[in-house]
Every structure is written in C-alpha cells, then in structure tokens.
Chains A and B, each alone.
Chain A
Amino acid sequence: MATKADTAALPAEPAAGSTFPLLVLIAGWLIPGAGHLILGKWVRALLLAAAILAMFIIGVALGGKLYSPNTGEPLDILGFLGDLGAGLPFIIGRFSGLGQAPVLTAVADYGTKFISIVGLLNIVAAIDAHSIAIGRKPA
C-alpha cells in the first residue's frame, strides 16, 4: 500500500487523451526552452534557451548556411531536417533571407554545423519536456 510520502514523490499523471504533453512538445520545438517554461521549470528553460539561441546566433553570425528542403541533394535534405529542429529561429531566419550565402570558408562551415547541432539539441530539449509532462522523467 502506498503511503502519503510515496504518492507525493510520484510524477503527476496527465489525464487520458490530454493534449497538454503534445502542447509542451510543440512549444518546446517552436521556441527553445518553452516546453520547460510551461512546466514551471524556468531555470532549465532559461539555460536551454540561452544555450540553443546563442549557438544559433553564433552559427548565423559565422556565415553558416540555413538549408533549403528542395535542392534534391540527399545531404541537403538531411541538413534541412536538422535545421528544422531549431523551430521558429530557423523558420524566421529562413524567411528573412539569413544563411543563404555560399559557404566558402572554414569558419562559415563551423557556422553551418552549429546551426544543425542547434536543431538536434532543440529536439532533445523538447522531448525532455514532453517526458516530464507525461511523467516518464521525474520533475
């Protein structure tokens, strides 16, 4: 029989069919750190947002490339999928014409890698927020 202390340590179970975890996942993907912010983990949210956005801004400032989905090159499509993980920063950057110059220097290539890594890190952060929301990870 579970004691009061045992039940207090368990993560909150979302209601069946709840859209809240999905909202956390999508918010965390679109805005870095937003998933954790919705869950009330504002320190984690600030650190995640700072790390992810700083890396994205540095990547763009280095002359990194924001990939297009329709070049027909398989590696470009993979790069686009990686970049897309960054959410709104990538979408805003893409539509405002950032990262369209050809990558001709090693520094610009670092920038391209930074942006791809940002996308992957943001996906990890969004999934972590989702795991907390569904109770798979302790809050």
Chain B
Amino acid sequence: MTLSHFSAVLICAACIGIVFGITQRAEPKMMIRFGAYTFVVLVAVTIAASWGMWLIKH
C-alpha cells in the first residue's frame, strides 16, 4: 500500500478529528463542530508548515 503525503495527512487528520471531537466535548453538536475544527486546523497547519519548509529551502 502507498499513500501520498497529502492523503496521509487527510486520513490522519480525519481520525484525530473523530477521536478529539468525541472525547473533548460532551454535546453531540459540539463534538461534530470540534471534530471538524480539529480536522481543518491539522490540515491547514500541515500545508502552512510545508510551504514554510519550501520557502526556507528556496
């Protein structure tokens, strides 16, 4: 099995988002919101860090 770095990030962020959403909030609606927020932040930070490393190299 092989994955691109980006698809690995998406899978990782989705799984972490599910677990964090369920465990860090008590109400179902807030769980969904926090899970989605975690997913977006993880993906956004990874993309930002990737561009940061690219800029450092160039």
Name the B residues within 8 Å of A121 (CB-CB).
15-16, 19
- Number of CB contacts from chain A to chain B under 8 A: 57
Task: Name the one of B2, B12, B15, B20 contacting A52, with C-beta atoms under 8 angstroms.
Answer: B15
Interface string of B1-27 (1 = CB under 8 A from A): 111010010011011101110110010
Q: Which residues 47-75 of A sit at the B interface, judged by CB distance below 8 A?
A: 47-48, 50-52, 54-55, 58, 61-63
Name the A residues within 8 Å of B5 (CB-CB).
106, 110
Name the B residues within 8 Å of A47 (CB-CB).
18, 22
Interface of A is mostly: helix
A117 touches B16 (CB 8 A): yes
Name the A residues within 8 Å of B23 (CB-CB).
124-125, 127-128
Name the A residues within 8 Å of B14 (CB-CB).
51
Interface of B is mostly: helix
Assuming A62-B1, A110-B5, A110-B8, is B22 touching A125 (CB within 8 A)?
yes
Please tell me if A80 contacts chain B, counting CB pairs below 8 Å.
no
**A–B Cβ pairs within 8 angstroms, 5 of them:** A107-B2, A110-B8, A117-B16, A124-B19, A138-B26
Q: Which residues 107-139 of A sit at the B interface, judged by CB distance below 8 A?
A: 107, 110, 113-114, 117, 121, 124-125, 127-128, 137-138
A51 touches B2 (CB 8 A): no
User: How many angstroms between the C-alpha atoms of A23 and B44 in the bound complex?
Assistant: 38
